[in-house]
Amino acid sequence: MSHNRAPEGHSLFGRYAYPPNELGYCGPTTDGSVSGLAARAEDFDGTWPYLSAIAEAVGATDVLDEEVVRNYWVGGRGLGKVDPAQLLTRLRAAFTGQVTGLLDTVPATAKVLAHHSFHVLVVYPWTRFLSRDATTAVGVMQDCRIRWGTVLNVAGDQTEIASRPLQYTSGRLRLGDPRCERVGWRKGELTLAPAPKPGAVVSAHWDWVCATLSDEEGAELEAATQATLDLVNSVIGQEQSK
């Protein structure tokens, strides 16, 4: 019955949090279901500080409000309401003692976004390995970031999408030209999103399709990702010039 359905924000959190949680990369040990992840959302240490910051900025009483969750994973106007300097202070406090990438070198005046791309490209330590093993570092960040792509075809449990891959060239991280990649959308009876349709734009996290994106959502995800890439390249450039 409809009154038993989880709030949309809680469901949305589960759909994007499931792929890394399934792999054991993020969040607490669970029963393996998507539905139970929202109840353990506060235990996702890498996600909760961002969600809390967005919720406070937009005045949401539920940290897993749909607008809050969508802004973090995909993007949206709520990101612009989060004070960058306060967010940077919050994140540095939250991740004190952890090995991070560029978090400690981001200027206080930087345009820090409460977006998943910031966590992947700035907080995670992989940017530190770009000069030593760029292939491995870029591969992990590529899979970990929320990416978007146009569905080319669907065959069984897999879908082929045309998506712009993360690349590291000439000392900069950038999005390359679209290429074809295969992503799962179903495992047995489990799906995170409706069956993809050719021509639609979908979001992917690790090896899962998480949602079908509207034109606006696709543009917001691209804008937030590019803003974080610009920040990362600026910080890397400053470090290389020292």
pTM for the model stands at: 0.95
Report how far apart, in Å, the C-alpha atoms of 204 and of each of 125, 129, 161, 237 are: 22, 24, 10, 29
Amino acid at 175: L
Asked whether residue 238 carries a pLDDT value surpassing 90, the answer given is: no
**How confident is the model over 13-19, as a mean pLDDT?**
97
Q: What span, in angstroms and rounded, lies between the C-alpha atoms of 185 and 158? A: 6
Q: Where are the domains of the chain?
A: 2-240
Give kind and range of the element (H or E) at residue 100: none
Tens-place pLDDT, residues 115-159: 999 999 999 999 999 999 999 999 999 999 999 999 999 999 999
Tens-place pLDDT, residues 206-229: 999 999 999 999 999 999 999 999
Confidence of residue 5 (pLDDT cuts 50, 70, 90): low
Tens-place pLDDT, residues 156-184: 999 999 999 999 999 999 999 999 999 99
Q: Using DSSP, state whether 169 is helix, strand or coil.
A: strand
